[in-house]
Chain A
Amino acid sequence: MINISQSILVITLLSVLLSLGSTRLTSLVKIMALQGVMVSLTPLFLKDHGSFGSGAIIFFQIMILIKGLLIPGLLYMAVKRIAIKRDIEPFIGYHASILSGLAIILVSVFITNSLRLTLPAGHDIVLITAITTMASGFFLMMARSKAITQVIGYLMLENGIYLIGTALTKHSHTLYVVEFGVLLDLLVGVMIMGIILHNINSAFDDVDTTLLGRLKD
């Protein structure tokens, strides 16, 4: 049968690539929702099904809820309220962004291969996906001028780190309580960023980070 965990990772990569090329903020948010769901599903299909307790199932449900629904919902509201539709003048253009995406995946395959880790079978594609997601998150933060895209970049970075966590570590070490704390931090972080965004928008009439240049030495 079709390899589900691989498909999920491929969809994650797909979302990374689409997010690099997407011009509209609403579609970017939707892509992030998809990515959130895929990233939360990964550990479920990566491990043996038998090893999950009921606590784990509930945890993953909450995680999908937060990453797939709550955070994108908050972002969507922010986009709507700020009433900006697209990042018109990115620092790095969309064609160049997509090509950078290609370069990023090349590098992450190279890194993964050169690490020569003794990963369990099928986990090296997780590592590739994770590194690509992280690097693309960084790239989005640097390449776009709107503050909201930077938040999205941060989320992608976080998704990538989470994937690395699932790829490299066994769940026996990290307890769900702890992971839940990480998730809560992320959620509150996005909420606070949303509030600041709203304030920036009302103070500057825009959320362009190039306007934020008042403080310097």
Chain B
Amino acid sequence: MIEFIFMLPLATGLTALALPASLGRIMLLITALLHFQLTIMSWMGKLTPAFAKYFSASPEGLLILMVTSFIFVCISLYAFSYMEETEMENKPVFICCMLLFLGTMSMVTLSDHPIVLWIAIEATTLVSAPLIFIHRSKEALEATWKYVLICSVGIALALLGCFFITMAMELGNINAPLTFTSLNTVATQLDPLWLKVGFIFVVIGFGTKMGLAPMHTWLPDAHSQAPSPASALLSGALLNCAFLGIYKTHVLMNVAGLGEFSGNVLIGFGLLSMLVGAIFIIGQPDYKRMLAYSSIKNMGIIAFGVGIGGFAVYGAFLHIIHHSLLKSSLFLSAGNILLGFGTKQVQRIGGIIGFMPKTFISLFAGFIGIVGLPPFGMFISEVVIIIGAFQEHRYICIGIFLFALTLVAAGTGRIFMSMCYGETTEKFQVKEKTLRLLPPYALILASVGLCIWMPDVVYETILHSIKMIGGTIHG
């Protein structure tokens, strides 16, 4: 029963509310490990869906489930130590929401029914909201309010999109169950006009959640105000889940023969997000916001890659994996810095190399990775996307793409350099701890490892995921 994957965290999450925080932390860790184990079992095909009307194990879902699960194990390890060292008013709620968040995200990856997918994505918004305002500062409240309201409204539009797709079914006189799997088999009979309208609403709706510009306005606030483990989850896992909603609809469009239309929409949003991300990174005074804008840019890259099609889709999926690993690692390192210096202002931080040498290593490695330099995976994925775009003769798009990448590299580089080597007047507060260093290391090593040796099963899964929209690796 594959539904165990999301039922387990949901159940333990609710139980954690009743437990004291010390027990809850252990439960968080155990659930994370069990969830990882269940995920591996589902990859081995040991689990089959019990409610096939609503859930199925699609390759792209499994891929994102694996990424989410792995990141969550690392983050729960980090949170284990983090919760000890920060003041938090209501620790059981934090643990509960972390687990519920994992549960709802797993539900997103497994759902096959468009409206169940919608329910799950909306649920991720709701359960992650308490994570953001757990510190109850005025800024955190503002960020949470924007997050809940903008995302809820955005996602409501996605529901409208789902209804339009149902309508396309009706106009095509199709009598099939409303699941992505069965829709893909009858896609050519769907009414094209309403399918297009539905797709646009779905992109706007889930794009809000994914952080595509210009619907991204909640993202920097939420990511910068949430406690670091939550930021890492938001950036590394949640955005992918929202992307999954768009991707599944995009596949449907492709099968229905409207791939060019949906691809162009995605390319447009992707390039805009990249530019917006790049422009706001330059001169960003807050390093967590900087990371958030970098997420917007990377989501743009993913949308762009998927929109281009062909070889680039492969790159986009690689990019999802590596971005999640590196970005959550960076957010965890940023959490260490925040604990150490007590400020998010880039200007007031300096000399990390001297004060926190071990954090410096993970931070610097993450920086190298996120700007797309070898030996990290984002180098490969970006190169693949560019090659894919060349194959499709999208030269102007490549120009914009490279321009944005250059801007980002310059902006990020300046910030990292001043943080690592600059001067500071701040007093150093909390020492580095192994438990908080291991997770970022593990995430970065995973990214490097996947570059050197990608397991065949991962490779096969990616190929399966992109097969439907004509993605290949043989240009």
A196 at the interface (CB under 8 A from B): yes
Q: Quick one: which of A57-98 are within 8 Å of B by CB?
A: none
Are A168 and B166 in touch, CB under 8 angstroms? yes
Q: Which one, B115, B152, B166, B280, contacts A189 given CB within 8 A? A: B152
A88 to B152, CA, bound (A): 26
Report A163-206 CB contacts with B as 1/0, cut-off 8 Å: 01100111011110111011011001100110110011001100
The answer to whether B142 and A173 touch across the interface, beta carbons within 8 angstroms, is no
A178–B149 CB distance below 8 A: no
B141's partner among A141, A172, A199 (CB-CB below 8 A) is A199
At the interface, yes or no: A217 with Cβ under 8 Å from chain B?
yes
Give which listed residue, A168, A185, A204, contacts B119 with CB less than 8 A: A185
Q: Determine the distance from Cα of A157 to Cα of B205 in the docked complex, in whole angstroms.
A: 13
Q: Which residue of the partner chain B has the closest CB to A166?
A: B163
B160's partner among A161, A179, A181, A217 (CB-CB below 8 A) is A161
**Given A154-B156, A168-B163, A203-B138, is A196 in contact with B145 using a C-beta cutoff of 8 Å?**
yes
If A158-B156, A165-B163 touch, does A182 touch B145 (CB 8 Å cutoff)?
A: no
Question: Please, which residues of chain B bring their CB within 8 A of the CB of A147?
Answer: 145
Within 8 Å of chain B (Cβ to Cβ): is A150? yes
* Residues in chain B near residue A181, CB distance under 8 A: 115-116, 119
How far is it, in angstroms, between the C-alpha of A179 and the C-alpha of B115 when the chains are bound?
8
Residue A214 CB within 8 A of the other chain: yes
CB-based nearest B residue for A216: B221
The distance from the CB of B50 to the nearest CB of chain A, in whole angstroms, is: 14
The reply to whether B142 and A212 contact each other, CB–CB distance below 8 Å, is yes
Q: Report chain A residues within 8 Å CB of B175.
A: 172
- Which chain A residues lie closer than 8 Å to B401 at the CB level? none
Taking the nearest CB of chain A, how far is it from the CB of B88, in angstroms?
Answer: 15
Q: How far is the CA of A188 from the CA of B119 in the complex (A)?
A: 12
Which residue of A is nearest B151, CB measured? A189
Contact of A185 among B123, B141, B220, B289 (CB under 8 A): B123
Q: Does A2 contact B (CB under 8 A)?
A: no
Chain A interface secondary structure, helix, strand, loop or mixed? Answer: helix
Contacts of A204 in B (CB 8 A): 138, 141
In the complex, whether B178 has a CB less than 8 A from a CB of chain A is yes
Distance, CA A158 to CA B171, complexed state (A)? 24
Cβ of B84 under 8 Å from chain A: no
Which residue on chain A has the smallest CB distance to residue B164?
A: A168
Q: Are A192 and B148 in contact (CB under 8 A)?
A: yes
For residue B221, which residues in chain A have a CB less than 8 angstroms away from its CB?
215
Alpha-carbon distance between A114 and B148 when the two chains are bound, in angstroms? 34
Closest residue on chain B to residue A185 by CB atoms = B122
Contacts of B195 in A (CB 8 A): none
A94 vs B342: C-alpha distance in the bound complex, in angstroms?
46
Closest residue on chain B to residue A150 by CB atoms: B149
- Distance of A199 Cα from B167 Cα, bound (Å): 41
Q: Is the CB of A203 within 8 A of B136?
A: yes
Residue B362 at the chain A interface, CB threshold 8 Å? no
* Chain B stretch 100-132: residues in CB contact (< 8 A) with chain A: 113, 115-116, 118-119, 122-123, 125-126, 129-130
Interface residues of B in 29-62 (CB under 8 A from A): 53-54
Which residues on the B side are within 8 Å of A161 (C-beta)? 156, 159-160, 163
Q: Which residues of A contact B426 (CB under 8 A)?
A: none
Q: Which of A150, A158, A217 contacts B280 (CB 8 A)?
A: A217
Q: How many residues from A make CB contacts under 8 Å with B?
A: 42
- B166 A169 Cβ-Cβ under 8 A: yes
Name the residue of chain A whose CB is nearest to the CB of B157: A161
Chain B residue contacts of A158, Cβ below 8 A: 156
Q: Write the chain A residue with the least CB distance to B147.
A: A196
Bound CA span A214–B144, Å: 13
What is the bound-complex CA distance between A195 and B54, given in angstroms? 31
Q: Inside 8 A of A188's CB, which chain B residues have their CB?
A: 123, 126
B225 sits at the interface (CB 8 A):
yes
Which residues of B have CB within 8 Å of A118?
171
Given known A-B contacts A181-B119, A214-B142, A154 and B152 have beta carbons under 8 A apart: yes
By a CB distance below 8 angstroms, the chain A residues around B423 are: none
Chain B residues whose C-beta falls within 8 Å of the C-beta of A175 in the assembled complex: 53
CB of B153 within 8 A of CB of A154, answer yes
> A177–B175 Cα gap in the complex (Å)?
19
Residues of chain A with a CB closer than 8 A to B122's CB: 185, 189
In the assembly, what is the distance between CA of A196 and CA of B149, in Å? 11
- Cross-chain contact A170 with B123 (CB below 8 angstroms): no
B156–A157 CB distance below 8 A: yes
Whether B408 is near chain A, meaning CB under 8 Å from some CB there, is: no
Interface positions, chain A 116-134, Cβ under 8 Å from B, are 118, 134
Q: Which of A141, A169, A185 contacts B167 (CB 8 A)?
A: A169
Which residue of chain B has its CB nearest to the CB of A170?
B170
A197 (CB) vs chain B CBs: closest residue: B145
Out of B129, B169, B225, name the residue touching A192 (CB < 8 Å).
Answer: B129
Contacts of B220 in A (CB 8 A): 215, 217
Chain A: which residue is nearest B114 at the CB level?
A: A178
Q: Using Cβ atoms and an 8 Å threshold, which residues of chain B touch A164? A: 160, 163
Contact between B141 and A192, CB atoms less than 8 A apart = no
Shortest A163–chain B CB gap in Å is: 10
Q: Kindly state the separation between the CA atoms of A168 and B169 in the bound complex, as whole angstroms.
A: 11
CB distance from B55 to the nearest CB of A (A): 12
Q: Which residues does B use to contact A, with CB under 8 Å? A: 53-54, 113, 115-116, 118-119, 122-123, 125-126, 129-130, 133, 136, 138-139, 141-146, 148-149, 152-153, 156, 159-160, 163-164, 166-167, 169-171, 175, 178, 220-221, 224-225, 280, 284, 289
Interface pairs (19), CB distance under 8 Å: A151-B149, A154-B149, A158-B156, A161-B156, A168-B167, A169-B166, A172-B175, A174-B178, A182-B119, A188-B126, A189-B126, A192-B129, A199-B136, A203-B136, A204-B138, A212-B146, A214-B142, A215-B146, A217-B289
* The 3 nearest A-B residue pairs measured at CB: A181-B119, A212-B142, A169-B166
Q: A174-B166, A174-B178, A178-B113 are in contact. List 15 more A-B contacts (CB 8 A).
A: A161-B159, A161-B160, A164-B163, A169-B167, A169-B170, A172-B175, A174-B115, A181-B116, A189-B125, A192-B130, A199-B133, A200-B141, A212-B145, A214-B139, A215-B146
